[in-house]
Structure 1
Amino acid sequence: MTSKGAHYFEERPGAAARPGTVDVVLPDLHLRLATDSGVFSPDRLDPGTRILLESVPAPPQRGDLLDLGCGYGPVALTMASRAPEATVWAIDVNRRSVELTERNARSAGLDKVRSIHADEVPPDVRFSVIWSNPAIRIGKPALHAMLTRWLDRLAGDGAAYLVVQKHLGSDSLQRWLGDNGWDTTRVASRSAYRVLRVAPRPAPGGAGPTPGDASPLGGAANDEER
Protein backbone atom coordinates (compact mmCIF):
# COMPACT_ATOMS: atom_id res chain seq x y z
CA MET A 1 0.00 0.00 0.00
CA THR A 2 1.23 3.47 -0.78
CA SER A 3 1.72 6.07 1.91
CA LYS A 4 -1.30 7.87 0.47
CA GLY A 5 -3.47 4.81 1.06
CA ALA A 6 -2.09 4.26 4.53
CA HIS A 7 -3.50 7.61 5.68
CA TYR A 8 -7.02 6.22 5.55
CA PHE A 9 -6.30 3.80 8.36
CA GLU A 10 -4.42 6.13 10.69
CA GLU A 11 -6.16 7.59 13.70
CA ARG A 12 -4.44 10.93 13.12
CA PRO A 13 -3.28 11.20 9.49
CA GLY A 14 0.08 12.85 9.01
CA ALA A 15 -0.67 14.25 5.56
CA ALA A 16 -0.52 18.02 5.32
CA ALA A 17 -3.92 19.67 5.09
CA ARG A 18 -5.26 20.12 1.56
CA PRO A 19 -8.85 21.35 1.97
CA GLY A 20 -11.31 20.89 -0.86
CA THR A 21 -14.95 20.21 -1.57
CA VAL A 22 -16.95 17.40 -3.16
CA ASP A 23 -20.49 17.73 -4.48
CA VAL A 24 -22.76 14.79 -3.70
CA VAL A 25 -25.51 14.95 -6.31
CA LEU A 26 -28.22 12.30 -6.04
CA PRO A 27 -31.77 12.25 -7.44
CA ASP A 28 -33.19 13.43 -4.11
CA LEU A 29 -30.49 15.75 -2.74
CA HIS A 30 -27.41 17.86 -3.38
CA LEU A 31 -24.75 18.28 -0.70
CA ARG A 32 -21.48 20.21 -0.92
CA LEU A 33 -19.06 18.66 1.55
CA ALA A 34 -15.69 19.82 2.82
CA THR A 35 -12.87 17.31 2.34
CA ASP A 36 -9.17 17.13 3.10
CA SER A 37 -6.10 14.99 2.51
CA GLY A 38 -5.68 11.91 4.67
CA VAL A 39 -9.32 10.80 4.30
CA PHE A 40 -10.95 8.46 1.84
CA SER A 41 -11.67 9.73 -1.70
CA PRO A 42 -11.17 13.45 -0.98
CA ASP A 43 -11.46 14.53 -4.63
CA ARG A 44 -14.72 12.89 -5.70
CA LEU A 45 -17.66 10.85 -4.49
CA ASP A 46 -16.36 7.28 -4.61
CA PRO A 47 -18.28 5.26 -7.26
CA GLY A 48 -19.03 2.43 -4.84
CA THR A 49 -20.47 4.90 -2.35
CA ARG A 50 -22.64 6.41 -5.11
CA ILE A 51 -23.96 2.97 -6.07
CA LEU A 52 -24.74 2.23 -2.42
CA LEU A 53 -26.64 5.52 -1.99
CA GLU A 54 -28.56 5.01 -5.23
CA SER A 55 -29.46 1.38 -4.41
CA VAL A 56 -30.47 1.14 -0.77
CA PRO A 57 -34.09 1.50 0.36
CA ALA A 58 -35.08 4.53 2.39
CA PRO A 59 -33.77 4.33 5.96
CA PRO A 60 -36.12 4.07 8.94
CA GLN A 61 -37.48 7.48 9.86
CA ARG A 62 -36.69 7.04 13.56
CA GLY A 63 -34.23 5.14 15.68
CA ASP A 64 -30.44 4.79 15.46
CA LEU A 65 -28.73 4.47 12.09
CA LEU A 66 -25.03 3.74 11.49
CA ASP A 67 -22.58 4.91 8.84
CA LEU A 68 -19.68 2.50 9.35
CA GLY A 69 -16.49 4.22 8.16
CA CYS A 70 -17.83 7.73 7.61
CA GLY A 71 -14.95 9.43 5.78
CA TYR A 72 -15.98 13.05 5.33
CA GLY A 73 -19.66 12.15 5.62
CA PRO A 74 -21.47 11.50 2.30
CA VAL A 75 -23.25 8.39 3.60
CA ALA A 76 -24.11 9.80 7.04
CA LEU A 77 -25.43 13.07 5.64
CA THR A 78 -27.49 11.27 3.02
CA MET A 79 -28.98 9.09 5.77
CA ALA A 80 -29.75 12.16 7.86
CA SER A 81 -31.29 14.01 4.90
CA ARG A 82 -33.55 11.07 4.10
CA ALA A 83 -34.49 10.38 7.74
CA PRO A 84 -34.36 13.72 9.57
CA GLU A 85 -35.96 12.37 12.75
CA ALA A 86 -33.48 9.50 13.13
CA THR A 87 -30.16 9.65 14.99
CA VAL A 88 -27.29 8.95 12.60
CA TRP A 89 -24.05 7.66 14.11
CA ALA A 90 -21.12 8.48 11.81
CA ILE A 91 -18.07 6.55 12.99
CA ASP A 92 -14.48 6.08 11.91
CA VAL A 93 -11.07 5.48 13.47
CA ASN A 94 -9.70 8.43 11.47
CA ARG A 95 -10.06 11.55 13.63
CA ARG A 96 -9.81 13.87 10.63
CA SER A 97 -12.73 12.05 9.02
CA VAL A 98 -14.78 12.36 12.18
CA GLU A 99 -14.08 16.11 12.40
CA LEU A 100 -14.95 16.69 8.75
CA THR A 101 -18.23 14.81 9.04
CA GLU A 102 -19.15 16.80 12.14
CA ARG A 103 -18.38 20.06 10.34
CA ASN A 104 -20.31 19.03 7.22
CA ALA A 105 -23.35 17.97 9.23
CA ARG A 106 -23.33 21.28 11.07
CA SER A 107 -23.04 23.25 7.81
CA ALA A 108 -25.94 21.30 6.33
CA GLY A 109 -28.12 21.87 9.39
CA LEU A 110 -28.34 18.13 10.11
CA ASP A 111 -28.25 18.27 13.89
CA LYS A 112 -29.02 14.61 14.52
CA VAL A 113 -25.71 13.34 13.11
CA ARG A 114 -23.35 12.16 15.84
CA SER A 115 -19.86 12.00 14.39
CA ILE A 116 -17.54 10.19 16.79
CA HIS A 117 -14.64 7.77 17.00
CA ALA A 118 -15.67 4.12 16.77
CA ASP A 119 -14.64 3.42 20.35
CA GLU A 120 -16.92 6.15 21.70
CA VAL A 121 -20.28 4.65 20.65
CA PRO A 122 -22.28 3.75 23.77
CA PRO A 123 -22.36 -0.05 24.15
CA ASP A 124 -26.13 -0.27 24.53
CA VAL A 125 -27.01 1.36 21.18
CA ARG A 126 -28.56 -0.97 18.62
CA PHE A 127 -28.96 0.06 14.99
CA SER A 128 -32.03 -0.15 12.80
CA VAL A 129 -29.85 0.02 9.71
CA ILE A 130 -26.16 0.10 8.80
CA TRP A 131 -24.81 1.49 5.52
CA SER A 132 -21.15 0.93 4.72
CA ASN A 133 -18.51 0.85 2.01
CA PRO A 134 -16.15 -1.25 4.15
CA ALA A 135 -12.37 -1.21 4.05
CA ILE A 136 -11.69 -4.42 2.19
CA ARG A 137 -7.95 -3.76 1.84
CA ILE A 138 -7.30 -3.85 5.59
CA GLY A 139 -7.19 -7.65 5.18
CA LYS A 140 -9.66 -10.38 5.98
CA PRO A 141 -8.95 -10.82 9.72
CA ALA A 142 -9.40 -7.10 10.45
CA LEU A 143 -12.37 -6.82 8.09
CA HIS A 144 -14.12 -9.80 9.65
CA ALA A 145 -13.48 -8.47 13.16
CA MET A 146 -14.87 -5.06 12.19
CA LEU A 147 -18.00 -6.50 10.60
CA THR A 148 -18.59 -8.88 13.48
CA ARG A 149 -18.39 -6.03 15.95
CA TRP A 150 -20.97 -3.85 14.22
CA LEU A 151 -23.28 -6.34 12.51
CA ASP A 152 -23.89 -7.90 15.91
CA ARG A 153 -25.28 -4.55 17.03
CA LEU A 154 -28.12 -4.62 14.52
CA ALA A 155 -31.58 -4.52 16.04
CA GLY A 156 -33.59 -7.70 15.61
CA ASP A 157 -35.53 -6.32 12.64
CA GLY A 158 -32.62 -4.30 11.26
CA ALA A 159 -30.43 -4.76 8.19
CA ALA A 160 -27.01 -3.73 6.94
CA TYR A 161 -26.17 -2.74 3.37
CA LEU A 162 -22.55 -3.18 2.26
CA VAL A 163 -21.06 -2.22 -1.10
CA VAL A 164 -18.01 -4.19 -2.24
CA GLN A 165 -16.23 -4.50 -5.57
CA LYS A 166 -16.42 -7.90 -7.18
CA HIS A 167 -12.66 -8.09 -7.81
CA LEU A 168 -12.00 -7.13 -4.17
CA GLY A 169 -13.94 -10.12 -2.90
CA SER A 170 -17.67 -9.36 -2.75
CA ASP A 171 -18.59 -12.98 -3.48
CA SER A 172 -16.21 -14.44 -0.91
CA LEU A 173 -17.40 -11.91 1.67
CA GLN A 174 -21.00 -12.90 0.99
CA ARG A 175 -20.07 -16.55 1.56
CA TRP A 176 -18.22 -15.73 4.79
CA LEU A 177 -21.18 -13.77 6.12
CA GLY A 178 -23.57 -16.62 5.33
CA ASP A 179 -21.24 -19.22 6.82
CA ASN A 180 -21.14 -17.19 10.04
CA GLY A 181 -24.88 -16.93 10.50
CA TRP A 182 -25.81 -13.68 8.75
CA ASP A 183 -28.45 -14.20 6.07
CA THR A 184 -26.91 -12.25 3.17
CA THR A 185 -28.40 -11.49 -0.24
CA ARG A 186 -27.21 -9.44 -3.20
CA VAL A 187 -29.69 -6.61 -3.81
CA ALA A 188 -27.84 -4.67 -6.52
CA SER A 189 -25.01 -5.20 -9.00
CA ARG A 190 -23.55 -2.40 -11.10
CA SER A 191 -20.18 -1.45 -12.58
CA ALA A 192 -18.44 -4.40 -10.89
CA TYR A 193 -19.84 -3.44 -7.47
CA ARG A 194 -22.19 -5.56 -5.41
CA VAL A 195 -24.56 -4.27 -2.75
CA LEU A 196 -25.20 -6.90 -0.08
CA ARG A 197 -28.09 -6.89 2.38
CA VAL A 198 -27.17 -8.51 5.69
CA ALA A 199 -29.81 -9.56 8.23
CA PRO A 200 -29.01 -9.96 11.94
CA ARG A 201 -27.84 -13.40 12.96
CA PRO A 202 -29.64 -15.12 15.83
CA ALA A 203 -27.96 -15.19 19.20
CA PRO A 204 -27.12 -18.56 20.76
CA GLY A 205 -30.39 -20.08 21.87
CA GLY A 206 -32.38 -17.96 19.41
CA ALA A 207 -32.65 -14.96 21.72
CA GLY A 208 -31.99 -12.35 19.02
CA PRO A 209 -28.84 -10.65 17.76
CA THR A 210 -25.60 -11.38 19.54
CA PRO A 211 -23.80 -8.53 21.33
CA GLY A 212 -20.84 -6.87 19.62
CA ASP A 213 -17.25 -7.62 20.52
CA ALA A 214 -14.38 -5.21 21.12
CA SER A 215 -12.79 -5.44 17.67
CA PRO A 216 -11.54 -2.21 16.04
CA LEU A 217 -13.44 -0.44 13.32
CA GLY A 218 -10.54 -0.86 10.94
CA GLY A 219 -11.01 2.11 8.59
CA ALA A 220 -13.28 3.75 6.09
CA ALA A 221 -14.47 2.79 2.65
CA ASN A 222 -13.02 0.94 -0.33
CA ASP A 223 -12.70 1.46 -4.07
CA GLU A 224 -10.34 0.49 -6.84
CA GLU A 225 -7.59 2.69 -5.38
CA ARG A 226 -7.56 0.98 -1.99
Structure 2
Amino acid sequence: MSDHYFTARPSATSAPRQVRLALRDVQVGLTTDAGVFSPTAVDAGTLVLLESVPPPPATGDLLDLGCGYGPITITLARRAPGATVWGVDVNERARELARVNAANAGCDGVRIEAPDDVPDDVRFAAIWSNPPIKVGKATLHGMLQRWLPRLAPGGVAHLVVQRHLGADSLQRWLESEGFPTERLASRKGYRILAVRTEDTT
Protein backbone atom coordinates (compact mmCIF):
# COMPACT_ATOMS: atom_id res chain seq x y z
CA MET A 1 0.00 0.00 0.00
CA SER A 2 1.33 3.45 -0.83
CA ASP A 3 1.69 6.16 1.76
CA HIS A 4 -1.79 7.44 2.63
CA TYR A 5 -3.41 9.10 5.64
CA PHE A 6 -4.35 5.60 6.83
CA THR A 7 -0.68 4.56 6.90
CA ALA A 8 0.62 3.98 10.43
CA ARG A 9 3.87 5.88 9.88
CA PRO A 10 3.56 8.39 7.04
CA SER A 11 6.76 8.97 5.09
CA ALA A 12 5.65 12.34 3.71
CA THR A 13 7.98 15.15 4.73
CA SER A 14 6.51 17.07 7.64
CA ALA A 15 4.96 20.39 6.62
CA PRO A 16 2.91 21.74 9.54
CA ARG A 17 0.22 24.32 8.89
CA GLN A 18 -2.77 25.85 10.64
CA VAL A 19 -6.43 25.41 9.72
CA ARG A 20 -9.56 26.57 11.48
CA LEU A 21 -12.54 24.60 12.72
CA ALA A 22 -15.46 27.03 12.56
CA LEU A 23 -18.81 25.82 13.86
CA ARG A 24 -21.61 27.71 15.59
CA ASP A 25 -20.44 26.50 18.99
CA VAL A 26 -16.79 25.57 18.39
CA GLN A 27 -14.18 27.94 17.01
CA VAL A 28 -10.62 26.66 17.24
CA GLY A 29 -7.37 26.65 15.34
CA LEU A 30 -5.84 23.26 14.56
CA THR A 31 -2.36 22.21 13.52
CA THR A 32 -2.23 19.79 10.58
CA ASP A 33 0.62 18.22 8.63
CA ALA A 34 1.43 16.30 5.49
CA GLY A 35 0.57 12.61 5.64
CA VAL A 36 -2.72 13.07 7.50
CA PHE A 37 -6.29 13.30 6.29
CA SER A 38 -7.38 16.65 4.82
CA PRO A 39 -4.32 18.66 5.86
CA THR A 40 -5.27 21.91 4.07
CA ALA A 41 -8.74 22.43 5.61
CA VAL A 42 -11.24 20.67 7.83
CA ASP A 43 -12.90 18.16 5.51
CA ALA A 44 -16.34 19.08 4.13
CA GLY A 45 -17.79 15.74 5.23
CA THR A 46 -16.54 16.28 8.76
CA LEU A 47 -18.25 19.67 8.81
CA VAL A 48 -21.51 18.16 7.55
CA LEU A 49 -21.33 15.57 10.32
CA LEU A 50 -20.62 18.11 13.04
CA GLU A 51 -23.38 20.42 11.82
CA SER A 52 -26.01 17.69 11.41
CA VAL A 53 -25.91 15.22 14.30
CA PRO A 54 -27.71 15.56 17.64
CA PRO A 55 -25.65 16.52 20.68
CA PRO A 56 -23.58 13.68 22.14
CA PRO A 57 -24.40 12.14 25.52
CA ALA A 58 -23.19 14.39 28.32
CA THR A 59 -21.31 11.63 30.11
CA GLY A 60 -19.78 8.24 29.42
CA ASP A 61 -17.21 7.18 26.85
CA LEU A 62 -17.45 8.67 23.36
CA LEU A 63 -15.47 7.52 20.32
CA ASP A 64 -14.12 9.43 17.34
CA LEU A 65 -13.18 6.56 15.02
CA GLY A 66 -10.42 7.66 12.64
CA CYS A 67 -9.77 10.88 14.51
CA GLY A 68 -7.06 12.36 12.27
CA TYR A 69 -5.78 15.61 13.76
CA GLY A 70 -8.83 15.90 15.98
CA PRO A 71 -11.68 18.13 14.76
CA ILE A 72 -14.38 15.62 15.70
CA THR A 73 -12.65 14.68 18.97
CA ILE A 74 -12.42 18.33 20.00
CA THR A 75 -16.04 19.02 19.08
CA LEU A 76 -17.19 16.02 21.13
CA ALA A 77 -15.10 17.21 24.06
CA ARG A 78 -16.43 20.77 23.82
CA ARG A 79 -20.05 19.63 23.53
CA ALA A 80 -19.77 16.98 26.26
CA PRO A 81 -17.15 18.20 28.76
CA GLY A 82 -18.30 15.61 31.30
CA ALA A 83 -17.54 12.69 28.98
CA THR A 84 -14.35 10.81 28.19
CA VAL A 85 -13.60 11.21 24.49
CA TRP A 86 -11.47 8.60 22.77
CA GLY A 87 -9.81 9.59 19.50
CA VAL A 88 -8.60 6.49 17.66
CA ASP A 89 -6.40 6.43 14.57
CA VAL A 90 -3.76 4.14 13.06
CA ASN A 91 -1.71 7.15 11.91
CA GLU A 92 0.96 8.06 14.47
CA ARG A 93 1.44 11.57 13.09
CA ALA A 94 -2.29 12.23 13.22
CA ARG A 95 -2.50 11.00 16.80
CA GLU A 96 0.27 13.32 17.95
CA LEU A 97 -1.41 16.26 16.23
CA ALA A 98 -4.74 15.35 17.84
CA ARG A 99 -3.11 15.30 21.28
CA VAL A 100 -1.55 18.72 20.73
CA ASN A 101 -4.74 20.20 19.28
CA ALA A 102 -6.93 18.86 22.10
CA ALA A 103 -4.54 20.27 24.70
CA ASN A 104 -4.38 23.64 22.94
CA ALA A 105 -8.18 23.71 22.79
CA GLY A 106 -8.37 23.16 26.55
CA CYS A 107 -10.16 19.85 26.20
CA ASP A 108 -9.92 17.69 29.30
CA GLY A 109 -10.97 14.07 29.30
CA VAL A 110 -9.55 13.34 25.86
CA ARG A 111 -7.59 10.17 25.18
CA ILE A 112 -5.88 9.69 21.81
CA GLU A 113 -4.90 6.09 21.18
CA ALA A 114 -3.97 3.54 18.55
CA PRO A 115 -6.79 1.04 17.98
CA ASP A 116 -5.12 -1.76 19.94
CA ASP A 117 -4.52 0.50 22.94
CA VAL A 118 -8.18 1.06 23.80
CA PRO A 119 -9.13 -1.29 26.66
CA ASP A 120 -11.42 -4.08 25.51
CA ASP A 121 -13.97 -3.41 28.25
CA VAL A 122 -14.73 0.19 27.19
CA ARG A 123 -18.21 0.60 25.77
CA PHE A 124 -19.19 3.77 23.96
CA ALA A 125 -22.28 5.86 24.54
CA ALA A 126 -21.76 7.32 21.05
CA ILE A 127 -19.47 6.92 18.05
CA TRP A 128 -18.88 9.71 15.57
CA SER A 129 -16.81 9.00 12.48
CA ASN A 130 -15.78 10.20 9.07
CA PRO A 131 -14.54 6.71 8.19
CA PRO A 132 -11.63 6.12 5.79
CA ILE A 133 -13.62 4.92 2.79
CA LYS A 134 -10.52 4.77 0.60
CA VAL A 135 -8.93 1.98 2.64
CA GLY A 136 -11.14 -0.40 0.62
CA LYS A 137 -14.30 -2.30 1.49
CA ALA A 138 -12.65 -5.23 3.25
CA THR A 139 -10.66 -3.02 5.64
CA LEU A 140 -13.54 -0.61 6.17
CA HIS A 141 -15.98 -3.42 6.90
CA GLY A 142 -13.53 -5.01 9.30
CA MET A 143 -13.10 -1.73 11.15
CA LEU A 144 -16.85 -1.24 11.53
CA GLN A 145 -17.35 -4.86 12.59
CA ARG A 146 -14.72 -4.32 15.27
CA TRP A 147 -16.04 -1.07 16.73
CA LEU A 148 -19.80 -0.89 16.22
CA PRO A 149 -20.48 -3.82 18.57
CA ARG A 150 -18.79 -1.77 21.30
CA LEU A 151 -21.69 0.65 21.42
CA ALA A 152 -23.32 0.65 24.84
CA PRO A 153 -27.04 -0.21 25.03
CA GLY A 154 -28.94 2.68 23.51
CA GLY A 155 -25.81 4.09 21.88
CA VAL A 156 -25.74 5.38 18.31
CA ALA A 157 -22.93 5.69 15.78
CA HIS A 158 -23.11 8.59 13.35
CA LEU A 159 -21.09 8.10 10.16
CA VAL A 160 -20.60 10.55 7.31
CA VAL A 161 -20.00 9.09 3.86
CA GLN A 162 -19.97 10.69 0.41
CA ARG A 163 -22.91 9.58 -1.65
CA HIS A 164 -20.78 8.84 -4.72
CA LEU A 165 -18.27 6.86 -2.66
CA GLY A 166 -20.84 4.27 -1.66
CA ALA A 167 -22.90 5.65 1.21
CA ASP A 168 -26.03 3.81 0.09
CA SER A 169 -24.26 0.50 -0.48
CA LEU A 170 -22.59 0.86 2.94
CA GLN A 171 -26.01 1.36 4.52
CA ARG A 172 -27.26 -1.81 2.86
CA TRP A 173 -24.20 -3.72 4.06
CA LEU A 174 -24.64 -2.48 7.62
CA GLU A 175 -28.25 -3.62 7.59
CA SER A 176 -27.20 -7.04 6.28
CA GLU A 177 -24.70 -7.34 9.14
CA GLY A 178 -27.36 -6.75 11.78
CA PHE A 179 -26.72 -3.05 12.40
CA PRO A 180 -30.04 -1.16 12.06
CA THR A 181 -29.17 1.94 10.05
CA GLU A 182 -31.11 5.01 8.97
CA ARG A 183 -30.17 7.98 6.85
CA LEU A 184 -30.31 10.89 9.25
CA ALA A 185 -29.41 13.62 6.77
CA SER A 186 -28.22 14.21 3.22
CA ARG A 187 -26.30 17.42 2.54
CA LYS A 188 -23.73 18.62 0.03
CA GLY A 189 -23.29 15.16 -1.46
CA TYR A 190 -22.84 13.46 1.92
CA ARG A 191 -25.04 11.06 3.82
CA ILE A 192 -25.20 10.94 7.61
CA LEU A 193 -25.94 7.38 8.70
CA ALA A 194 -27.21 6.63 12.21
CA VAL A 195 -26.24 3.08 13.18
CA ARG A 196 -27.35 1.02 16.15
CA THR A 197 -26.27 -2.37 17.37
CA GLU A 198 -28.76 -5.16 16.92
CA ASP A 199 -31.35 -5.32 19.70
CA THR A 200 -30.95 -8.73 21.30
CA THR A 201 -33.35 -8.17 24.19
Same fold flag (TM > 0.5): yes
Gaps of 5+ in 1: 208-226
Shift of 1:109: 1.2
* CA RMSD, 1 decimal: 1.1
Taking the TM superposition and a 5 Å limit, the aligned residue runs for 1:1-226 are 6-202=3-199, 206=200
Q: Which aligned runs of 4 or more in structure 1 are off by greater than 2 angstroms? A: none
Gaps of 5+ in 2: none
1:164-216 Cα shifts (integer Å, max 9, x gaps): 011100000000001111110001101110000001124xxx36xxxxxxxxx
CA contact 1:69–1:132 (8 Å) conserved in 2: yes
Instruction: Give distance in 2, aligned partners of 1:67 and 1:16.
Output: 26
Aligned residue pairs total 201
What SS class does the counterpart of residue 7 from structure 1 fall into?
Answer: coil
The aligned amino acid for 2:92 is R
Instruction: Give distance in 1, aligned partners of 2:7 and 2:99.
Output: 18
Structure with more contact order per residue of length (Cα contacts < 8 Å, sep ≥ 6): 1
Instruction: Give distance in 1, aligned partners of 2:64 and 2:9.
Output: 20
Instruction: Give distance in 1, aligned partners of 2:16 and 2:53.
Output: 30
CA contact 1:7–1:14 (8 Å) conserved in 2: no
The aligned amino acid for 2:84 is T
Shift of 1:130: 0.3
What SS class does the counterpart of residue 5 from structure 2 fall into?
Answer: helix
Counterpart of 1:220?
Answer: none
Instruction: Give distance in 1, aligned partners of 2:111 and 2:6.
Output: 20
Shift of 1:88: 0.2
The TM-score, its normalising length taken from structure 1, stands at: 0.87
Instruction: Give distance in 2, aligned partners of 1:91 and 1:146.
Output: 11
Instruction: Give distance in 1, aligned partners of 2:101 and 2:42.
Output: 15
CA contact 1:52–1:195 (8 Å) conserved in 2: yes
What SS class does the counterpart of residue 147 from structure 1 fall into?
Answer: helix
Instruction: Give distance in 1, aligned partners of 2:194 and 2:63.
Output: 14
Instruction: Give distance in 1, aligned partners of 2:4 and 2:193.
Output: 27
What SS class does the counterpart of residue 52 from structure 1 fall into?
Answer: helix
Instruction: Give distance in 2, aligned partners of 1:200 and 1:31.
Output: 33
1:27-71 Cα shifts (integer Å, max 9, x gaps): 111010111111000110100000000001000010000000000
How much identity, in percent, do the aligned residues show? 58
Shift of 1:7: 2.5
